[in-house]
Structures are given as C-alpha cells and as structure tokens.
Chain A
Amino acid sequence: MAIISREQIVEGLEEILGKEQVITDEQVLKESSLDRYRKYEQVCEVYTQPIPAAVVYVKSTQEVADVLSFANENEINVVPRTGHSAIEGGLETALKDSIVIDGSTMNKVIKVDEYNMQVTCQCGVPLQELDDMLRERGYTTGHSPQSKPLAQIGGLVATRSIGQFSTLYGGIEDMIVGMEAVFPNGKVCRIKNVPRRAAGPDIRHIICGNEGAICFITEVTLKLFKWQPQNNRYIGYKLDDEYMKLGFDCLREVMVEGYKPSFARLYDAADAQQHFSAWLEEGKAILIWMAEGPANITPAIEEGIKGLMSKHPELEEVDPALIEKWYGGLNWGPEQIAEEKEEILATRNIGITTEVSGSWDNIYEIYKTACDRILEEVPDMTLMGGHSSHSYINGTNMYFVYYYNVVDCAPEEEINKYHDRINQIICEQVIKYGGSIVHHHGLGKARAKYVTQEYGSSYYMLKTLKQAFDPNGIMNMGTLIPLRK
C-alpha cells in the first residue's frame, strides 16, 4: 500500500528522527510484527505477518506529528505501540512495510497535582512505575490490570483497559481527565483537564479505545485517589461448581444493594484450581470481594456483604487471610512471560483468555453454553473455565480461560485449528445472548471480523469516525475494522 519503497521509508524516517531512533534490525522487526494474539507463533519464533519496514522510537509530540504526516503523505500503515502487552492482534503489522511507532521513550511524569488530585504523564510511562511512585506519596491511580508490570499509559488508554479494582474505581475511561493526541495528518489536539463538562459529545471517547486506529495518544491526565491499604478487608466464600448461577446472583446482589467493593470475583472450579489449589477442594467455585477506602467504610462494606451472603446456605466462608495473600501474587511481569514461553515450548500446551460481558440475565448462559460448546467441539482441551472479575449495577464480565495441547499442527496453523475456533464459539454465544464480545482487551485484529455484529446499526458511527480522521487508511489497518480481503 505504501507509495514509496521500503528503503525510501527508512530514509525518510531517518531524516525526521535521525538514525538512532530508527530501528531496522531484522529480529526487532520480526518481533514487532505481532503480539500475544499469536502467542504460539511468538514462542515458536515463526513470523507469518508482513515484517515492518522500521520501528521508530519517538521522543516528543512533534516527532509523532512529523512521522504521522510523513506516513500519511506516503500512505504507509503505522502501528502505535507502548508496552507491547497487547493480546488481540492490535500490534500486528497487517500491511507490507508498516512503521511501528513506539512511544515508550516518551516516559516522563509531567505533573503530580495533589491538590486537584490528578497526574499528567506521557504515553510511555509504565503504569507500575507511576503507581509505585504515587503510593510512596499516599496516592494511587486506582488502575491495576494484571499487566501492570508490562503496560504503559498510551496502550492502557488506547485499549480501554480495566484493572482489578474496577468495581470501585471504574475502567480507565472513568479515570481519564484530559489528553493529548496526534492525528494522521499531524494535527495535535489537546483536551483540557476539567472535572466535567457538557460542551457537546465527550470527545475523549474518540481517543480512548481507539486502539491506534484513529490517533496516537501522547499525553494523558488521570485522576488520583488516596491509597489506604491498611483499611482493606477481604471476604471469600466457596461453593460447589454447580452453583455458578447462584455465584453470579451473589455478585449481583452486592451491586444491587449498593455496595462498592473494589474487587468482586467469581471463579469457576476449573479456573479456581489454578489459583487456590493449596486449600480449595476440586469442584469448588469461589466468590471473593475486597473492600477498599476509608477506615469507617470498609468494615461496613464487609459487614454488608457478609450479611447478604449469610442467607445462602450453599456458601461456606473462607479465611480472608488466604484471599489477601493470593491477591499479592496476581500480576504478570516479564519473568512470568519468559517462564510461560519455556513451558509452552516444552509441553506444547498453551493457555489463552477471552473476555466478554453480559447483563445479569444472560451472563450465566453465555458462560455455560460457550464452555459446553468448546468442550464438545474443540479437540485437545486441557482446561476450560473462567471467572467474572468486573461487576456493574447491570451486569458483569466473563473472562474465559482455556488451555489446550497443540497436536499435529505447525505453529502457523495453530491459530486456525484452536485459538480462532474457540474465539468464534465464544463470540457466537455472546452475540446470541446479547452481550459484548469484548470487555477489556480491545477488538484488535483478532475480533475485528465480528465488529459489525458487535455494533449493529451503530457500526455506521465507528466507520464514519475512522474515515473522517484517517481518510488515507494509515492507522493500524485491520484493527477495529477488518481489512477488505
């Protein structure tokens, strides 16, 4: 699609950024052609996607604008990137001679404003570093995805990510104050930091969740909250796996009664064994809540939840200390990724996740029918289960967790034989029952093919946005909206 050659692309980029910021090392380029959607290909080091022309490291908003203008003029596909932890193909360079624009070098925390309770940072600030720094001062962003040690602010906003404490703090969309982003024609837009406004549509949501398919996010201001872990309270119950429907109802009851725990989770038995095997019997599901906040509120939440749960004889309380310690080891950093790679190579057994959402009246059907169909239709499954980890007044999410052995199958065929097939079953069941096929990982390229089913008549709005902001089709093509065959 680019109207100039690969060599000319590299020359042009070097002119803009200097040689040091333009990487053309073969291995780097290969590794930059995919993400964890093709985890099996990634660990086997088999690269099936077009290899990008260059990875460029940008240091300022102006550099981003210059690179985007150059790409726009020459119709070169660009893939924005920060932490490289994407799992739905958002980082795949689907078109020949793409440019990967890496914002991880824009990593300054610009301002911690303790009076207005907000922090402004560049897109490449790692969330772990930001939150550790804030915690030392007694604050937190409240954002804690499992990928906290990997992900950076730009990617977290671009994917509409969500953290473990979402029931209290919300998803990233609830935390964002203002932003700066660069559009394909080089136009820099800043959205100011105010507590709220009613001046037309909330344009922050054009940027948040754009997955690099509309603009490049360069700066974000997030809200701050007081960090007071000393007040945390943990609550847990086990129940037989056959009572999963009751489990969802328990999550609902807590929400409907107006409690605001910071996390609220329900693991089915298969998934629970991955976390709690030390003390939880096989065949038992588990319900967990954590209350966070001021000292006079958390005991009240704890008491309230326990009061509600005491009416269910099917539940058996578990020692809260076990929950507290488990949650300390939940996050995934580079060591776990490296270990996982070794394990997959040795066992040819791979674990994948797919997250969806549903209303209270359909989430159980989505969960149950998707699990049943996968077990029935997909070969070589070694684990099928999941958990709900983000609850709302009107519904919750389901995070499917599945493992399978890759049998008699080349790395490049794995995605068709297993991963996409499972994804398809999940998406079909979600659409059938009226949920959303994407709760927080983004559509990426993996699920872009379902976009029209997901959006229905509102697809018109998404398509119009894409066409208006990216008329030349250079922003992360194939993400959000599938490529035409």
Chain B
Amino acid sequence: MKILGCFKVVPDLDLIVEEDWNIENHLHIDTGYAKLIWNCFDEGALEMMLRLSDLSEGLNVVYKLSALTIGRQKTENFLKTLYALGFSEGARICVEAEDEILFSPEMISEGIANYVKKIEGQDVILTGIQSSDGNNKMTPYLLAEKLGWPCITQVIGLEPIDEEHLKVTSQVSGGCIVRKVKTPCVFAIGNAPCSYLRIPTLKAKMKLGKRPVTRLVPEDMGMSETAENVRVTALNPIDKKRNTVVIEADSPQEKARCLYEKYLKERLSEL
C-alpha cells in the first residue's frame, strides 16, 4: 500500500517577538528569523504513518511511505529526516516565496493532487487538518474533491488490515468511530495521540538521509493555473487582554475572603 504524508514546515510562532505581532498598515508578519518546525498536525500524521508501518511487522502488508512538501529549499532537511526514519520517497514542490501561498489551499491541493496523478500514484494520503500559520483548514477536503476520493477527518489512529483496507479510528462529537476503510482515501489528522515525530539517530541520518529529494516545479504541478481566489485585505491581532481587578487587602486571608465574597460565592451557589 502506498501512503503519502503531506506536510508543511512552519516557523515556531512562540519565538516571534511581541513587536512583530504589531501589524499596523501592512499585511505581513516577519517570521523569517524563527526556528523552523513541523506543522504540529502534520507531525502527528507522519508519526502515525510510521506507527502503522511498525504495526505491519509480521503481517502480510507492505507499506511504502512517501512524503511531499510545498515550500522553500530549507524544507529539504525535513525530508531528509524522513528518509532517515525509513520513508522511501521525498519530494518538494519548489516554492521559495512561501508567503504567497499562505492562504491558497486551492493551489496547494492542486499541487498535491497533480503529484499523485502525474508523478507517484498513491493509495492513501495523510495531511494535517490545518497549518499553524495559514489556518485555512481546507486542503484535505479540496484534495479529496480533486481526486474524487473520500475524506475522513479527525483521524486519531490507523491500523493495518490488508493491502486494500485500513482500520481507521476518528473522533466525532461525543466519541470515536472505528471503521474498516477501503483505499483510496484522504485522512486529515487532528489531535493525534502521538503528536511528536520520532527522532532518527545520527547514524541513520548518515546512512539514509543523504538521498536526493525529488524537486518539482509548481507550474508542472498545475499550481500556477489555479487562480488565487483569496487575498488578504487586513490583519487584526487578537486582543488577549482581559479586564482585571487587583484585590487590595492587608493579609492573604483578607484577600481570599474578598475574592470569595465578591466574585466566587454567587457563582459557586449557581453550580
């Protein structure tokens, strides 16, 4: 079974200094200096692929794991990490100006769909549910539509069955459903229980991580034909400030009493 993990490399937004969130009069946030990390949902998806592969040991199914990313050259290090972890194929659709595709899930899904149609056919595609910078939450749906495949969202577990089926656990409101799913299918990974990707040893990196990455041109993947149908017109920071009251009193006991009498007593009685 051929499984493709689509992932995005994003800046670690926790490292963005406060003044850079100040977005008066421009439509760009400078994240160029922040460390690059796996988009968290994609990281969970890639680990899920490896776990599925671990589970197949001793069974009569062979999983061929591949990965695809759309982004700048720096992302190739991430593909090499995946090689070191046992992925057999890594490809990048080369887009250096990543900002320009930040809000273009239409274009991204077109690129992925064409990769699967023209370059490397797949039975299953995993994506994260959304990225931390674009937050579009549309790519897996659009991708499934373009391929004419079903799409299951909020997937939290995959287990092997046979060459054409997987046991898929996904979250729904109020619980989980476990389904036997026939491939092909797109899975969108949300809150995966394993949200961190394992780390390859330096020896594995030396041995497996040196293979070249397949580089693809966006035009060949039909990305330039997809009209940009969304344009950013304004950015507004979320006001995280809350109204606060400082309780003044002489002792902690008095402060606690005041907190209880004025703010908690009534609410607690409503419980």
Residues on A close to B: CB < 8 A?
A: 273-279, 282, 321-322, 325-326, 328-329, 342-343, 346-349, 375, 380-384, 403-405
Contacts and interface: CB of A to CB of B under 8 A. Distances in A.
B71 to A, nearest CB: 12
B35 A347 contact: no
B34 to A, nearest CB: 6
Contact of B202 (A278, A346, A381): A381
Contacts of B195: 346
Nearest to B193: A346
The list of the 3 closest CB pairs from A to B, nearest first, reads A329-B15, A346-B196, A349-B199
Nearest to A321: B33
B176 interface: no
B201 A381 contact: yes
Nearest to A381: B202
Nearest to A348: B198
B32 A382 contact: no
Given A278-B11, A346-B195, A347-B197, A328 B17 contact: yes
Given A282-B77, A346-B194, A403 B33 contact: no
A92 to B, nearest CB: 28
Contacts of B198: 347-349, 405
Nearest to B195: A346
Interface string B188-212: 0000001111111111000000000
Interface centre among A277, A326, A343 (most CB of B within 10 A): A277
Interface string B203-241: 100000000000000000000000000000000000000
> At the interface, is chain B mostly helix, strand, loop or mixed?
loop
Contacts of B15: 326, 328-329
Contacts of B35: 274-278
A368 B223 CA distance: 47
A278 B36 contact: yes
B202 A383 contact: yes
A375 B74 contact: no
A277 B199 contact: no
Nearest to B198: A347
B33 A322 contact: yes
Nearest to A270: B202
13 contacts: A274-B35, A275-B35, A276-B35, A277-B36, A277-B77, A278-B36, A325-B33, A328-B17, A346-B194, A347-B199, A348-B198, A381-B202, A405-B199
Contacts of A325: 17, 20, 33-34
Contact of A326 (B20, B31, B33): B33
B100 interface: no
B196 A347 contact: yes
